[in-house]
């Protein structure tokens, strides 16, 4: 059932994308590489060929949206402001018109960003339903403190085991810290996980803390409102249960539908989503499950029946695959 890219991305299909759809990109390891054992920092806009092709895609008339698991402050610095600057440089006359086609959601969809009078800011009405209640925040923080102490104690007890089994983990970043982002995410990082060791070699310390976290949230009577998740390679995150890329995607589609006077279904079937984590538990999984009309493209393996792997088309993966896709669309549409 392998449709080829020429059919999936035929000129008619791309024209439909431009007219009625939106091209959505995951950020980490789709547009920008995440920090690893050997690269200390997350990649920034100018370092990624996929990221620098976004201004050209926008200029070709395609709506582009990024939905990231990261916080807004980080995304703004790493991606959005440099992109804005690049558009001003390349297309000074059309800057505002081009940027009206650009959409941003951060914190796995809990934060919507809008551009007003040339400045980016959080859209407060959208975000309010995902914010922590103040009193809950204190108790959730205590739960993360407890997870942190549990980890530190265990690490001190068997440091050798950690160093031997998780060679990809940078223990110089320890002790883990509790982070709070834009009133919608509480996190703890870094904690070693299965990403830092050979596949299934040993039990993941992060998974153990995750299970303990689930139990503590339940015991506190907060499990109907909040959930803990394993995010990225080394983070644990607590958010409102409703937070997922699904909420952002739905909001995006309905906004475009309203503006264009078409149905949300038309927008959905005209759109393309590009990500790297479509397997269960990955943050792109929910898109392929909840929006079956949307064309889902993976820069890694396909993993789900309705997801197509760009590896099969371009023999490239990761950021170069996203870049090749963008180049192809730009070529067709300009």
Residues that bind Mg ion (CB under 5 A): 26, 28-29, 276
Residue 110 CB, nearest approach to Mg ion (Å) = 16
CB of 283 to Mg ion, least distance (A): 6
The residue (of 147 and 319) whose beta carbon lies closer to Mg ion is: 319
- Phi first, then psi: give them for residue 233, nearest 5 degrees: -90, -25
Residue 282 beta carbon to Mg ion: minimum distance, rounded to whole angstroms: 8
Cis upstream peptide for 284 (omega within 30°): no
Q: Which of 243, 314, 236 is nearest to 274 (CA)?
A: 314
Would you say 319 or 324 has its CB closer to Mg ion?
Answer: 319
Q: Which is nearer to Mg ion, 230 or 266 (CB)?
A: 230
Nearest-angstrom CA–CA distance, 115 and 117:
7
Kindly write down the DSSP assignment for every residue of 108-133, as one continuous string: GGTEEEEEETTEEEE-HHHHHTTSPP
Q: Which is nearer to Mg ion, 29 or 194 (CB)?
A: 29
Shortest Å, Cβ 249 to Mg ion = 15
For residue 177 the two structure tokens come to 């810290």
Chain-centre distance for alpha carbon 252: 15
Cα–Cα distance, 16 to 18 (Å, whole number): 5
Q: How far is the CB of 23 from Mg ion (least distance, A)?
A: 16
Q: Which residue's CB is nearer to Mg ion, number 26 or number 42?
A: 26
Beta strand extents in the chain (DSSP E only): 23-26, 64-67, 102-106, 111-116, 119-122, 177-181, 185-189, 226-231, 235-240, 272-275, 295-298, 307-309
């Amino acid at each position: 059932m392998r449709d080829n890219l020429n059919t999936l991305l035929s000129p008619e299909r791309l024209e439909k994308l431009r007219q009625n759809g939106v091209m959505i990109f995951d950020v980490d390891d789709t547009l920008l590489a995440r920090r690893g054992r050997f690269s200390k920092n997350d990649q920034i806009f100018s370092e990624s060929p996929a990221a620098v092709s976004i201004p050209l895609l926008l200029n070709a008339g395609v709506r582009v949206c990024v939905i990231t698991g990261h916080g807004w402050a980080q995304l703004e610095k790493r991606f959005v402001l440099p992109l804005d600057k690049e558009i001003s440089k390349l297309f000074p006359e059309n800057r505002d018109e081009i940027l009206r086609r650009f959409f941003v959601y951060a914190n796995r969809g809990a934060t919507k960003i809008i551009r007003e009078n040339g400045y980016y800011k959080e859209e407060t009405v959208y975000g309010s339903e995902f914010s922590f209640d103040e009193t809950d925040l204190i108790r959730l923080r205590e739960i993360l403190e407890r997870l942190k102490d549990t980890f530190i104690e265990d690490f001190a007890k068997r440091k050798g085991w950690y160093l031997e089994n998780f060679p990809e983990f940078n223990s110089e970043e320890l002790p883990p810290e509790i982070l709070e982002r834009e009133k919608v995410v509480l996190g703890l990082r870094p904690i070693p996980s299965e990403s830092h060791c050979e596949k299934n070699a040993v039990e993941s310390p992060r998974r153990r803390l995750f299970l303990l976290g689930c139990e503590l949230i339940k015991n506190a009577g907060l499990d109907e409102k909040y959930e803990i998740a394993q995010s990225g390679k080394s983070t644990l995150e607590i958010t409102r249960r409703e937070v997922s890329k699904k909420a952002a995607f739905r909001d995006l589609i309905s906004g475009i539908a309203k503006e264009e006077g078409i149905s949300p279904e038309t927008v959905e079937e005209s759109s393309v989503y590009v990500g790297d984590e479509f397997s269960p538990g990955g943050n792109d999984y929910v898109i392929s499950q909840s929006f079956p009309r949307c064309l889902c493209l993976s820069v890694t393996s396909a993993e789900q029946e309705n997801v197509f792997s760009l590896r099969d088309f371009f023999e490239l993966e990761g950021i170069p695959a996203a870049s090749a896709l963008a180049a192809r669309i730009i070529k067709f549409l300009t």
